[in-house]
Amino acid sequence: MEIVVATSVGILTAGGVYLILRLRAFPVILGLALLSYAVNVFLFSTGRLAVNMPPVLQKYGEASYTDPLPQALVLTAIVISFGMTAVLVILALGAFLEADHDRIDMTEEDDVTDAQKEGGA
């Protein structure tokens, strides 16, 4: 079980880093989402990977249980990452509608235009 979770965290992280290094806005947003999923799976796995175990310590008997704190942290992180992804999509959509492309690199022409704006202002 631990091998599967560790492999999935590694694959999600590698895919996220690859997409973040792209020169378009939408793949960068997808890469950030994949990285947040990798962190969520990692946090979830810190609460012990036990199948069919209760999330709290029982009064009498077994000492094996699943820690509920990482589950609460993951639930909160999912909500926050969904909100941030929505904000990033709206920002990328606004930039695309204004510039007619979603490239995030800066060309020499953009450098000259920015320098003229700063010097003239």
Within 10 angstroms of residue 83's Cβ, the number of other Cβ atoms is: 10
C-alpha 78/C-alpha 104 separation (Å) is 26
- Residue 1 near residue 51 (C-beta atoms within 8 A): yes
9-13, 38-42, 43-47, 61-65: the lowest-pLDDT one? 61-65
User: Residue 100's pLDDT is what?
Assistant: 83
Q: How far is CA 18 from the centre of its chain?
A: 13
Q: How confident is the model at residue 109 (pLDDT cuts 50, 70, 90)?
A: low
C-alpha 97/C-alpha 116 separation (Å) is 24
Task: Say if domain 2-120 classifies as CATH 3.10.620.
Answer: no
Three-class SS state of 32:
helix
Report, as an integer, the average pLDDT of 43-53.
75
Backbone angles phi, psi at 40, to 5 degrees: -65, -45
Model pTM greater than 0.75?
Answer: no
Whether 17 has a pLDDT exceeding 90, the answer reads yes
Condensed to tens digits (0 to 9), the pLDDT of residues 55-95 reads 666 666 566 666 778 888 889 999 999 999 999 999 889 88
Instruction: Give the start-to-end residue ranges of the domains of the chain.
Output: 2-120
Report, as an integer, the average pLDDT of 99-110.
73
Cα atoms found within 13 Å of the Cα of residue 37, Cβ hemisphere only: 18
Closest CA to 39 of 1, 70, 84: 70
